[in-house]
Amino acid sequence: MSLIARLRAYAVDTLGLKDPTHAGGEADERLAAIALLVHVARADGVLAPEETERLARLVEGRFTETRSEAEVLIARAADFDAETRDMAQLVEMIGHAVDKERRGRLLAMAWSVAGADGVVHEFEEALVHRLGVLLGFDEAAIADTRRAAAEGPLALN
């Protein structure tokens, strides 16, 4: 067992978390959603401290109850993202069965992570736009979600 695998196992045991990589249903969707956010945070090749902080706050506020749980889940999602073929595969795990409102929140979170460092780079913009299309949104909805994320409560997280 690698050191990273042992550290993960220790964190799961210590924090009492379920292993989202081995659970089904909602845990798989949650892991895929967070992996998408990690993918966006890494899009410009630089994981800025502001992006890391925004990602942790979003995960803590929407997917976990504590910062330590969020950090464990983000680490797993980062590994999962690295092992995944592409963003479309992650979106397939979420599926269109998830209601439009939840898909919209995920898109808003992606815009929020992309802009956390104060600049949405062209790579990030293209990636989040593609994510919006994969989630089933049209151009106008993607643009509206971007504006709302920049102006709304996600911008403050």
pLDDT tens for each residue of 120-141: 889 999 999 999 999 999 999 9
CA atoms of 40 and 144, how far apart (whole Å): 18
In the predicted model, is pLDDT for residue 91 greater than 80? yes
In the predicted model, is pLDDT for residue 61 greater than 70? yes
Contacts for 141 with CB less than 8 Å, ≥ 6 apart = 104, 132
Mean pLDDT for the chain? Answer: 82
pTM: 0.78
Q: Return the minimum-mean-pLDDT range out of 9-18, 30-39, 51-60.
A: 9-18
pLDDT band, residue 18 (cuts 50/70/90): very low
pLDDT tens for each residue of 67-78: 999 999 999 999
